[in-house]
Amino acid sequence: MTELQQEIRRLAEATDALILAHYYQTLDVQDIADVVGDSYEMAKQARSAEASTIVVCGVHFMAESAKILSPEKTILLPAPDAGCPMADMVEAEDVLALRAKYPSAKVMCYVNSSAAVKAVSDVCCTSSSAVRIAEKLDTDEIIFVPDRNLGRYVAEQVPGKQFYFHPGFCPIHDRVSAEQVKQAKARYPNALFIAHPECREEVLALADFIGSTAQMIQFTRKTDAAEMIIGTEIGVLELLQRELPQKKILSVSASFVCPNMKKTTLRDIYESLATGVHEMRLDESERQLAYASLERMIEL
């Protein structure tokens, strides 16, 4: 560990803080975290942690979710301008318009969304829990926001229900093409291709495994395959390359980088812990409504 990393760990202990990091964070940030996980794990940890402060190394909606679930805790987002462009593609008014159009449907919102959108939804989901929640939700009609790619993937896995989509997408996952996957497969014919469900339909059709970031990591750890092509952000690639040097692990595209996930630096974390700057705050009535959707996700 570098001196700055050690100093962050010392500060975290001294201030009773738990550091959560998403798998898309840079490795130096992942290395000082108490827990590194996917969105679902981060939400669960934020809800059950005993620490009085939670530092969220990720993007804005992750810190918001932590505050929604644990309002009594101090939630710090060291890089306050780290947003998620997909979350910004849907607003509460869009959800209300869809509700008016499909009055008998329930609204399922991907956790990559604002507190205001969660507040007007019936249930939230993450990429690892979306199929299970769609199956269990007591309705035959589901409005899915904001990710059209994840929504379409879930609809395919739950054929008995009618889905209505919003045209949001992740600009990072959506720009990967089937042609890029085919080229990578042609160069490495023995490699397995694994993809995040935020990728396009034609990309997912070429995948040997589809799952959340945590599920992709689990799959790569367990498989006997010696060569892997990773269809998600390079944080996952870097973690796997370091952990499994005996395997050949490649990215499907050199530009598979989420700039917002790379905004959190060690210096930001240090500053936030040392001064308490960049604390997440939410309107209490909106928080309570959003809480119901997130809590239902964890129950289901």
CB of 244 to ligand SF4, least distance (A): 22
Name the binder of 65 from ligand SF4, ligand 13P, none, CB < 5-8 A by kind. Answer: none
Name the binder of 85 from ligand SF4, ligand 13P, none, CB < 5-8 A by kind. Answer: ligand SF4
Order of strands, edge to edge, in the sheet holding 209-210? 209-210, 192-195, 227-231, 248-251
CB of 201 to ligand 13P, least distance (A): 17
- Is residue 114 a contact residue for ligand 13P (CB under 6 A)? no
CB of 160 to ligand SF4, least distance (A): 28
Q: Are 62 and 83 in contact (CB under 8 A)?
A: no
Q: Measuring CA to CA, how many Å separate 199 from each of 153, 232, 275?
A: 9, 8, 39
Contact residues for ligand SF4, defined by CB under 6 A: 59, 84-86, 112, 170, 172-173, 198, 233, 258, 260-261
By beta-carbon proximity to ligand 13P, the closer residue of 124 and 192 is: 124
* Crossing angle between the packed helical segments 60-69 and 284-299, to the nearest 10 degrees: 90
The two tokens of residue 233 are 């952000």
Q: Are 155 and 161 in contact (CB under 8 A)?
A: yes
- Is residue 126 a contact residue for ligand 13P (CB under 6 A)? yes
Question: Of 234, 248, 103, nearest to 187 (Cα)?
Answer: 248
The two tokens of residue 24 are 């898309």
CB of 276 to ligand 13P, least distance (A): 26
- Is residue 212 a contact residue for ligand 13P (CB under 6 A)? yes
Selected binder of ligand 13P within 45, 113, 180, 213 (CB under 6 A): 213
Name the binder of 38 from ligand 13P, ligand SF4, none, CB < 5-8 A by kind. Answer: ligand 13P
Name the binder of 260 from ligand 13P, ligand SF4, none, CB < 5-8 A by kind. Answer: ligand SF4
CB of 126 to ligand 13P, least distance (A): 5
The two tokens of residue 40 are 């679902």
CB of 228 to ligand 13P, least distance (A): 17
Lay out the site mask for ligand 13P across 159-178 (x = CB under 6 A, - = otherwise).
Answer: -----------x--------
120-159 in b/e form (b: 16+ CB < 10 A) is: bbbbbbbbbbbbebbeebebeebbbbbbbbbbbbbbeebe
DSSP string, 120-147: T-SEEE-TTTHHHHHHHSS-SEEEEESB
Q: Are 21 and 34 in contact (CB under 8 A)?
A: no
Binding site for ligand 13P (CB under 6 A): 38-39, 112, 126-127, 170, 198, 212-213
